[in-house]
Structure 1
Amino acid sequence: MDHAAVLALYDREMREGARPDGPAARIERAGGVVRQIADASGWNGVLWSGLDAAGADRAIREQIARFTGLERDFEWKLYAHDEPADLAARLFAAGFRAEPAETLMVAEVAGLALDMAPPAGVRLVRATGPAGVDLVVDVHERAFGTDGTALRHRLLARLAADPGAVVAVAAVADGEPVAAARMELVPGAPFAGLWGGGTVEAWRGRGLYRALVAHRARAAAARGCRYLQVDALPTSRPILQRLGFHPLSATTPYVYGS
């Protein structure tokens, strides 16, 4: 893989050329910034910026004014290769707080092994409506210790508006969901995003994460996506590298608001 070329493609198609990630969201482009505005349960934030040292502070103030005017907390999704080089320090000085950094990892779908199955006694259940979404959200809450209300709302809204735009799947053992993940697709985009891969503690280390990656990769291949993209935590990065994903950059969410 030509890392520089693929990263440039990702920036161009998925950040600068971003499309809204749900029916209640819209993309705005203003002053060298691409941002998404969504309802209170959706993702609000800055996806891309083409800034220089002279205009960065002004652009930061403009984003704060735009989102706070809508009474929205928001995220500035900063990548290690973004300019200016001190943009992170400028965000911090403006009142943003940094969440844990992740690694942007990409794989070509054609190069992945797609025949990995879940362990014996585990079946994969695709979420196509409320019952399946409840399985996915249940895992999310138990695996990550966070409230899944916003995730439930977003998944149900996306499935209702465009069932082909999201693949959400839960791994079920003895009637209980033990792992889950989702994939989000944009029509015509070369990248599909893998999100929310989580396993409840008692089932970790049994290959469920790999099986869920393979399941979503097969779905991406069927839809003609060339690349899979993951914002990987340190716990996931070694697994993804063994599967054929390449680290291209680091990304840190800078959050403004409560």
Structure 2
Amino acid sequence: MIPLDDSPQAVALRTAYDQQIRTRPGSANGGTIDRFDALIRKVGFEGDGFVQYLGGADGPELDQLIADQVAFFRERGVKFEWKYYTHDLPADLPERLTAAGLVPDEEECLLIGDVAELQADVVLPDGIRIREITERADLERMQAMEEEVWGYSHDWLPDALSRDLADADEPAVVIVAETDEDVSKVVCGSWIRFHAGTEFASLWGGSTLAEWRGKGIYRAHVAYRRNLAVERGYRYLQVDASPDSRGILARLGLRPVSVTIPYIWKP
């Protein structure tokens, strides 16, 4: 794992994220949102839940807060995720979550960058173009690319991105890289969400077909989306990065400021 950045600039970016993004209910996407002093709880349109911890609880109060969420979702018979950040307090929060029956899943790195410090030039290899997409057929071609990359179904993707594109609170732009030789072939796909009322836009996706990796296409996707954020007046880009992309993003100027771990409870 790349080391976290603990410079004053990185701490300031993380603080802005905590204040602007983590405290923001965001979109329910057809589900429901409940906000409490110490957390925000969502139940998605397909039933699964999500808990965003805001801090301020400790000791027996925190244990009861965790137990209340388990009871809430147990009653509904659905799983939920408690998104933990390694800078969250108290320091023993992971142990408390585990004691309540939640299981840690794969970690990701939270990276944040000031758009003024990030690459703006969209440099693509010969024969590749980037295009913004909205049509169902294009979203389904992007689904096919994701399934080729990951080896399992992404049948949820066209519906999810269609909702993101239509979301007035967190509108999205979806982009694909295509070849000139085969315009029906998506070689890389990603999207960006703009969080209205904040200084943040967030980066998502970025999967690339194996034979097209190492050619700068993912970097071009980051730069293209960075420029979209600038055009709309956003100051920061944020991404939860997998091990495959965190190094690239750090080299492009985004700062690794925390690690996120989804703690999962299943009925």
The two structures have a TM-score, normalised by structure 1, of 0.91
Partner of 1:88: 94
Q: Given the alignment, which residue of 39, 49, 55 partners 2:45?
A: 39
1:171 maps onto 2:180 in alignment:
no
1:109–1:149: structure 2 CA closer, same or farther, 3 Å change rule? Answer: same
| Aligned pairs, number | 256
Q: Given the alignment, which residue of 116, 119, 129 partners 1:113?
A: 119
Could you say what the CA RMSD is over the residues aligned between the two structures, in angstroms? Answer: 2.0
1:163 offset after TM fit, Å?
A: 9.9
User: 1:176-233: CA deviations, max 9, x gaps?
Assistant: 1111111111212111111111112121111111011011111111111100001112
Q: Return the letter of the residue paired with 2:216.
A: G
Matches of 1:208 and 1:117 in 2, distance apart? 8
The two structures have a TM-score, normalised by structure 2, of 0.88
1:3 maps onto 2:15 in alignment:
no
1:73-152 matches, within 5 Å, as 73-152=79-158
Matches of 1:117 and 1:83 in 2, distance apart? 42
Which segment drifts farther, 206-215 or 70-79? 70-79
Q: Return the letter of the residue paired with 1:255.
A: I
1:31 offset after TM fit, Å?
A: 5.1
Matches of 1:92 and 1:76 in 2, distance apart? 11
Q: Given the alignment, which residue of 12, 19, 27 partners 1:12?
A: 19
Q: Given the alignment, which residue of 65, 78, 95 partners 2:71?
A: 65
Q: Return the letter of the residue paired with 2:255.
A: H
Matches of 1:164 and 1:57 in 2, distance apart? 32
1:202 maps onto 2:211 in alignment:
yes
| Contact 1:40 1:72 survives alignment (8 Å) | no
Unaligned runs of 5+ in 1: none
Partner of 2:236: 227
Which segment drifts farther, 8-17 or 43-52? 43-52
Unaligned runs of 5+ in 2: 1-7
Matches of 1:58 and 1:212 in 2, distance apart? 44
Q: Return the letter of the residue paired with 2:203.
A: L
Partner of 2:36: 30
